[in-house]
Amino acid sequence: MAINFEERFASHPSDVKHYDTQQLRNHFLVEKVMEADQINLVYSHYDRYITGGAVPVSQPLELTSIEPLKAPFFCFRRELGIINVGGPGTVTLDGNSYSLDFKEALYVGKGTEKIIFSSNDATLPARFYLNSTPAHKELPTRHITLKEANVLQMGSQQTSNERQINQLLISKVVETCQLQMGMTELRPGSVWNTMPAHTHSRRMEVYFYFNVPEGQAVCHFMGQPQETRHIWMVNEQAVISPNWSIHSAAGTANYIFIWGMAGENLDYADMDVVQPNQLK
């Protein structure tokens, strides 16, 4: 077992507009999220956000502190959100076990010391997607199923963006310090997510794309509304979206994505919308 991590620094939008393809990918794309018997993490200096994945196959995996945190354990001053995108699994928190099925979430509050991931079946391992942010107070652990999510129906077939937004870790469902997470599922025939696009200077965001069929891809759009850029992504990759950037995508086939946010507020509707004909 190993915990692999890398640190990403914030980039000024005036610099980003000069990045070539590889520079964009180096700064914002998280290429390897899920890896058997590994915990992979990226520590971003945008709101000190951590994103990553844990895939326990042959043995349980323990999430311990990493060097940038300078802390005795991972959730010493952090909260953690977990969504399972694989087979049934278990998360054990300080000796208490929580079973997570496909698309189920778990909120882990500040102060939780021992975090262990395991799969119920090694032939169909759990794939735990992780997001973590700094926290200012301790809040109780909470298991959230899709039945408990706050569900929004958005878009239309006519504009190719008909989708269901499952708000999982959001104030209407569970109390958090600043972390918000949810999962958006596109309807058959729709390819666009988060369209019209928007920015929110009060918060940053991370998108994780999964359920992308083999051989297909998602084109993620980022950048300032008048200076957009794109990153091509495949299944189970994540992308960091700065607070000054739009975050939207179109796929060559249907897909699902998990969004996570952190920043100044917990107002999901706090966004500055940019209409499609205003983008450049």
Question: What are 105-128's pLDDT values in tens digits?
Answer: 999 999 999 999 999 999 999 999
pTM over 0.75: yes
* Beta-carbon contacts of residue 266 (< 8 Å; ≥ 6 apart): 170, 171, 176, 178, 180
Residue of 82, 55, 85, 81 whose CA lies nearest to 185? 85
H or E, element range at 214: none
Specify the CATH number for 2-278; select among 3.30.2350.10, 2.60.120.10, 3.40.50.2300, 3.40.50.10320: 2.60.120.10
- pLDDT at residue 140, rounded to an integer: 97
- pLDDT at residue 2, rounded to an integer: 78
Task: Please give the C-alpha separations between residue 274 and each of 7, 145, 271, 280, in angstroms, as whole numbers.
Answer: 31, 32, 9, 11
Percentages of the chain per state (helix, strand, coil), in multiples of 5? 10, 45, 45
Q: d(Cα 246, Cα 195) in Å, to the nearest integer? A: 10
H or E, element range at 78: strand 78-84
236-259 pLDDT, tens digit per residue, is 999 999 999 999 999 999 999 999
Other beta carbons within 10 Å of 72: 9
- pLDDT at residue 273, rounded to an integer: 94
Low-confidence ranges of the chain (pLDDT < 70): 1
- pLDDT at residue 1, rounded to an integer: 62
Q: d(Cα 145, Cα 167) in Å, to the nearest integer? A: 10
For residue 229, which amino acid is it?
R
- pLDDT at residue 238, rounded to an integer: 98
- pLDDT at residue 31, rounded to an integer: 97
* Overall size of the chain counted in residues: 280
- pLDDT at residue 15, rounded to an integer: 95
- pLDDT at residue 205, rounded to an integer: 97
